[in-house]
Chain A
Amino acid sequence: MNTNIDFNNVLKKLIPFIGIVLFSMLLNTILFFFLPKSYFSKTMSENRTIDYKKYKIREGFEEKKIVKKKLKKHIVKKEYALISNILLNMIYQEENQNGWIVIAEKSSRKTTILGINELYKNYKLLKIFENHVIFEKNNREYKLLLNSEKQKTPYIVEKTGVSIEKIDDQYQLKRDLINEYTQNSSKIWKEISIKETVTNGSINGFKITRIPQKSVFKKLGLRQGDIIKSVNNVKLKSYADAFNIYKKISKVKNMKFVVLRGNQEVELEYEIK
């Protein structure tokens, strides 16, 4: 058996292939010099924000302090009285212990509204707390509980709607409400439908085409037919702008919507707590 290999012949046949490999390597090396060596996203590095800033023009370009109004707590009736013959029906309490209460006589059910330092049958209303109040009579303090003695039911914080309050022209809403909707986007589309409005081929806002009566968005002051033009001074010119706001809403504390209602621009302001 002849086992001799003709290396010269093999090399002769391999040379074109080696040449092709070297040539393709050369071509790709040249190409390599013209290609970017790394990538860094410019758009991702941009800190696009929808932070809310408000300025007072008259007093210079200084940032206006947003007056945070304390959330008032309405506490509804629970029947119990440490002071004989008096029922504490309601406590209206502000965080600085101001407020007023509604008390009733057990026998007649006649109700009386009392403010701080006001008198009721020589009992002076001294302090208001979340679930009780303190009266004073003859230099002695008396406690009147809102809850029943056996604490059968806890007191209820009365809310106007679902975690939304409107104080002056500003809506205050709870962060939980925002989270509830951002975590379940299908819930949003059940309560609102929007469609882009196009002028000269470009989007210039989003029109509310449907908003059910019980929708949370209705409680936030939006109406069917409103065209949302901007949010926190970011004009809505694309779906991306809208989605960008949707994505960042969980981080913002204040929002301002500019909507076109009829021929009038309306500003809706929200404080998220």
Chain B
Amino acid sequence: MSHAAIPAPQPPPASAEPGPVVALRNVSAGFDGRPIFEDVTFTVAPGETRILLGPAGVGKSVLLKLIIGLLPPLSGNIELFGEDISAMPEEKLFALRARAGMVFQEGALFDSLSVRDNVAYQLVQERVPDEEIDARVHDALRFVGLEQTFSFNPSSLSGGMRRRVAIARALINQPELILYDSPTGGLDPVTSETIIELIVKQRDVRRTPSLLVTHRLQDAFTLCTHTFDSEQGRMVALPEGQINHSTTFLMLNEGRLIFDGSLHELLHSQNAFVREFLE
């Protein structure tokens, strides 16, 4: 990929914007006294898509789980939708989590439920009428191009289809934040592109802020250099030299956040690991 034509990002307008959807301040995490990462600080602003890069085992998935309180931090503060969740009791967290959507690494579909019941899980708990549930599940499945799987069981789906159903499940309640945990990991290039197209579609059509974990640079660059064309109904490349300015990067390595910035800054970073990672 040639990076020479990509200009420096334009600064966001200095208008009075709402606070960040997610804010981490000096967050450390670990298991059994063994630290995974320390002193991580970053924010996700409304409408922003942040791509978290880093080698395997560095704690990227742990970071996502911290953000919606599935794991507690060892220290530091985590704000989700403006509320400090660092020491929030589990019972209070459920309401906040319900406002976010998360796509897990392997989909994490409920084996014992059909695709319809998986996608509708949150709606069923909220006692939404069956007719409305069916209509919204059809909409969500149409969004990911899998309407025909409505009555299937997850076991009969391929890996890529399971991820897309997981995306439909995360999107059905129109979340205010989406967390994607390696949504293309282990998938073939064609299926990966389909998934990335869905993420771009969600970003450009619904403007949902998101945090995406990946170690596939190709996916990250596609997100920056493509947009969803609603008229054509597909993802198209931006004109040469243009990028999506709402998509920015984070990089974790050896227990530290070593990069936080735009694509332009990433490509021109002097950090040795960032350069090695990009090469």
Binding between chains A and B:
no
Interface, chain B (partner A; CB < 8 A): none
Interface, chain A (partner B; CB < 8 A): none
